[in-house]
Structure 1
Amino acid sequence: MKTRICDLLKIEYPIVQGGMAWVAEHHLAAAVSEAGGLGIIAAGNAPADVVRDEIRKAKALTNKPFGVNIMLLSPHAAEVAEVVVEEKVSVVTTGAGNPESYIPMWKEAGIVVIPVVASVALAKRMEKYGADAVVAEGCEAGGHIGELTTMALIPQIVDAVEIPVIAAGGIGDGRGLAAVFMLGAEAGQIGTRFVVSHESIVHDNYKKRIISSKDIDSAVTGRSTGHPVRSIRNNMTRNYQKLEQEGKSFEELELLTLGSLKKAVVDGDIINGSVMAGQIAGLISKEQSCKDIIKEVVSEAEELIKNFHF
């Protein structure tokens, strides 16, 4: 199962791990890369020195390529953009902003640049400014989302650009990977299933909540602010949606979620924390190693594609 993404990223399998804040740190990134996919360290809002340390720790665990996801709204984004050059990171993915001003510097350093996009217009713009590929993310994904579904978004972006497209949102097994290949994508980005991997450092409460989830257990908050986020339903999402219905200000809503992701990931507070997860959570039933997850997803996709018939 080789695609242009495998050649571009120098990976064995066309699977990319999502850049999930507070979750995607060096243990997870290194484990995914060691298993043949592309692991990603999520910089989030972390200072540059913390990101540098994470990169070096990942390098101590694997000599295979891995990437860093830079959230461009972070106050430390400019410094982190330079750190990935200094540390000779193989791949950069970006989100929550426009990476155009950094792309020339990254390209000059030989870094593969892959912005995360949620629309055709943004995908075309990223290609124009030199992106090597894009992650097209449907609203089934966990965390910050756009409006279009994966099924609708992927083929439209594939038709609009020449660079390879990595599909994200709603991919949890080999069926999902095979499906996005049929839509024209050349790799799948997996987030929620890697959250419950053995190597993931998230609290056991968080993992168990995903594993016990049903298909309708996720909720989207923040639509009124223009920053929608998908999480597992709990006390926090209910309170947030109630405040949204009451027309509360952006500041009041932000106060409710301040530190809520860390509260869930680190402290295990799945009642008042933000348990970010995609709609695919209802399909996930067990904790596995990253190696077993990738092996299972790839082998199932290969079998489906090989034996497909009308």
Structure 2
Amino acid sequence: MRRKPTEPEILAEIASTSLRQHVGGAAGGKGYHFQDLVAVARILECGSTCLGIGDSPLITQEKRGSKTDDLHMDWPEGSFSRRYQIKSEEELGWDTNLQKQFIVEHRKDPHAELVLTVHRMDLAEKLKIERHDYELSFVTVNHVSIALRHNPHHNREICRLIDSVSLVPAHPTFFASIWHHIYSVWIHDWERKGDLLELFEDLSRTSRYIISSLKAPSNETNDLVWLLNETMKGKLHFAADSETLVVTGRQGRTLVPLPVLMSAVDDGFWNDFPQDPWEFWDAIGGFGIDEDCDDEYYDSVD
């Protein structure tokens, strides 16, 4: 009779399986790594619903060889936690170490939300039904299509999430730029760990403010943005967070965002600003943030 494995043996096998998942699996070597794809999508999702400092989780994406979770989200003062397992194995089932993995996590924190994300809808539905047979009804099962490892910024839901954290018009050029920028900063600069609001503050600055800092603008700023969009009637696009107004205009086939620090604008400017879009553009440009621009945000568009 086979003996019951000890917990160290279980964790060692989980680590081995996790390592194979990171270097191979259905996403291995083709497009974005599936775990990275899902992690960035979840960061966008979390950013799109963030309500401020008290709603800003510490996010940790585990590296290759991790023993348990693939993605952690821990909200301030232990108020809430979410744990993701992200798998792209074709024959995945609960009768593997996956069951033990979730049981270990549930014992560690019975109040944490535990989520399994897989790469196919049919597999997610199968695991969702079968989880009850393995006493895993506390696990949420969902999917992100493996096809998104190529050009995820073409996906409608991903575009919706990107649009919710951007200060520029909804456009394929910006969808691609913002996705690639968030991915690069999260994976390479932040090395897959950081506070959500601190991350977006950095993303905003390094994208030349086309990405929101997630800090909400005042009611006065919201009213001003509405007035400007109404006055310019689509010739210019306006959006703002707590500190920055981004004015986007078109020069030929190119969309050009102009970030302006609200505190730098003279108090009297808004009382008598130019009503003509291009006169306004020239006038507001005098208050623009003087930083070098990354060419990727200024590609020609149709």
TM-score, normalised relative to structure 1: 0.33
Q: RCO greater where, 1 or 2, for CA within 8 Å and sep 6 or more?
A: 1
Q: Could you say which structure has the higher helix fraction?
A: 2
TM-score, normalised relative to structure 2: 0.34
Q: Larger Cα Rg: Structure 1 or Structure 2?
A: 2
